[in-house]
Structures are given as C-alpha cells and as structure tokens.
Amino acid sequence: MFLTRLFLTTVVIAEITSGSLSAIQTREKLITPKEVYTPGVKNLGYKMVNGVKVFRIEAEPVVKTIYNEKDNQLEKYVKKHNRYTGPTMSLPFSSQKIDGWGYNKSIPGPTIIVNEGDEVRIYVKNKLPEPTTIHWHGLIVPNNEDGAGGADDPVIKPGNTGVYHFTIKNPPGTYAYHSGFNDPKQVGMGMSGFFIVLPKGGSNEVKYDFAIMVRGWSLKRDGTVDFLSMANDWFTFNGLCAPNFPVLKVPYGARVKIRFGNMGGIMAHPIHLHGYSFNITGTEGGPIPLSAQWPAATVPVFPGTTRTIEFVANNPGLWRLHCHILHHIINDPPIFEKNKPIGILPVGGMYTCLEVGEKE
C-alpha cells in the first residue's frame, strides 16, 4: 500500500505539469453538493471518475479578512426586529485579517460532502514552504491513509501532490479534516475544514442544514497568527467575526440542523441558542442513538470535537446564537480594556442570529 501511495503521487505530479491544480479544476465539470450550507465557506466540488468521487485540495498560504466594519450582516435584521441600534464603543481600526494557512484559498477549508459508502480519492497539492499531510478526523480509514504526519504514511513535500484513497465506512455524521503534520503550527494557522457524510445513495433528510466551525485566534494587527499563544483575542464562526457572519434564515415549521466543529482552538466554546431547546444528535464519532440524545439550550464544543443539534423552528423571531463565554462575543477585547470606563460594547466574535419566519 505504501508503494501504491508513492505511485499515485507520481502520477498526479505528471498530471499537473501542464497547468495548476486550480486550472485543471476549472476545465473539469465539477459536481458541487448543496445539501449543507457552511456560511462564508464554499462546498468542495468533485468529479466522478469510474465510480470514484475525486476531490482536489491545495494547501497554501491564505490571507482572509475576518472583520470589516463596512460589511455588517446583522444591521438590517436588528432594525427589522426593533432591536438596539444606538451608539456603542468602536474599534480604532476598520478591519482585521488573518495571514494564515488554509485550503483552496479559504480558512476554514471548503466543506467536503460525501455519502455513506462512497469511494473517494482526494488529491492534495502542497503549496506551503514545509511538508504537510491531511488527517481525516473521526473517519474510519486504512492506517496508511490517516495523514498522521509521517507516523503512518508519507508526508507531502513542498511542491508535490499526494493522494488519499478510501471508502467511506462511517455512518452519516459531522466529521472533519485538518493538517496532521506539525499540527500546532499548521492547524494553528488555520488548516482545517468540515467533512460531512450524508445517507447512502440519497440527499440530506433535513433541508435547513448549517455547518459552523468555531475558532479563537491570537492575532497581531498585521494578521500574523501567534499560534502558540494561550490567550485568544479574536473569535470566529467559519473564519468570520460578527457582525460579518450571515444571519441563518429558516421558515416557520422547518426542521433545522446545525453542525458545530472545533478543530483549531485551545478551549471549548459553549454555543447557546436563544428561544429554543434542541436535541444534541451527533458527535465527531457519528450519530447519537435517539434513546441517548439529550435536550439542551447550550452545547459545549470542545477542541477536536463536533456537535450536531436539531430542532423544529416553531418559535418565530430573531434569536441570538453565540458563544456563552461572553468576552468571545467582542472583537479584540484587550482594546476595550485599555479604554475605560467601558460603555456599551459593540457585538463581535462568535455571534450571529437565527431568524425564524412567522407562522402562515
């Protein structure tokens, strides 16, 4: 199997000599799943080749704007629902970026969506200045496909392309992928994403299905990531701070699923939804049997875990969805600490809203 990996890698390198990986993707007619919505992040397209779903990923440096005061996604909903729109304190700068590492120009990486039982082949082009791998977090794969940074399979050297090839043996659920080499640095710089398994041979059973990766960051003003810091000052949903993260909109009576993941952080984030009691229905290990599910209004998302919640949207209105470590709903809390007395703080960080329509 080890020799197979090296052979496939050689074939892939030959394949891309005539153009970049992204150029090849452009020429192909890709199938892009739409069953799950990851706000601010694209779903990764694939091509069917002899019954195999073929994906392509580029590990590369990524500069991403996580906060822009001109892109307020909450403002119109706050006005519509007559919430507070008065003066608040403000940041002494208009934007903040991450100068990190990610996949396919994205932090977090694009969401991979497959079906139970699929055979998949994933090409990974390394555009970083050091070796890398991808670990398939929670997925049952052969030992030499685990992406454990050279412990179980080869690393992908800079400029090279590796390939992972396995069959999906997990039940439908919320899994993840992230770098498996030099993890504190590479995952700390942003290299992670969702890997979602849907039911075999079919689409999603829930129409309103969202995926949110939670993450804390220690950032310098120029976007440099202090990935070894034990203190965070920026907090994101899918690489975006409030008020830049989109509002989740659903009609009255809809069944809703929200998948949370925490692959790069140093702490747990208790995510709280106002107005609802939901069932916790899944973890990074797969679905929770109905008899073992439990009701909650806050779900703790620990590092290295995913949590899936489900509920029926039967309570109309605009409902807050946020981390309940409350300084995690502020952008750059130390800035405000320096400007006492502290007045009304602007919303930021891990914060958005769920808008549920009125009953017709």
| Whole-model pTM over 0.75 | yes
Helix-strand-coil percent breakdown of the chain, rounded to 5?
15, 40, 45
Q: Report CA-CA distances (Å) from 97 to 71, 94, 234.
A: 14, 11, 10
* Burial (Cβ within 10 Å: 0-12, 13-18, ≥19) of residue 102: buried
Comma-separated ranges of CATH 2.60.40.420 domains in the chain: 2-61+102-198, 64-100+206-356
Distance from C-alpha of 90 to C-alpha of 287, rounded to nearest angstrom: 42
CATH for 64-100+206-356 (2.60.40.420, 3.40.47.10, 3.30.70.1090, 2.40.128.20): 2.60.40.420
Q: How confident is the model at residue 153 (pLDDT cuts 50, 70, 90)?
A: confident
> What is the rounded radius of gyration, in angstroms, for the C-alpha atoms of the chain?
21
Q: Which residues contact 305 (CB under 8 A, 6 or more apart)?
A: 261, 262, 283, 284
| Interval 291-312 mean pLDDT | 98
The CB-side HSE value for 63 (13 A sphere, CA atoms) comes to 6
pLDDT at 19 > cutoff 60: no
| Interval 255-271 mean pLDDT | 96
pLDDT digits (tens, 9 = 90+) for 72-88: 999 999 999 999 989 99
pLDDT digits (tens, 9 = 90+) for 95-142: 999 999 999 999 999 999 999 999 999 999 999 999 999 999 999 999
Class of domain 2-61+102-198: mainly beta
The dihedrals phi and psi of 303, each to the nearest 5 degrees, come to -55, 135
Q: How confident is the model at residue 6 (pLDDT cuts 50, 70, 90)?
A: very low
Asked if residues 252 and 275 have their Cβ atoms less than 8 Å apart, the reply is: no
Distance from C-alpha of 187 to C-alpha of 183, rounded to nearest angstrom: 5
Helices (H), the chain: 2-15, 21-27, 75-80, 183-186, 333-337
pLDDT digits (tens, 9 = 90+) for 168-187: 999 999 999 999 999 999 99
Asked if residues 185 and 205 have their Cβ atoms less than 8 Å apart, the reply is: no
> Which among 185, 148, 141, 198 is positioned nearest to 166, based on CA atoms?
141
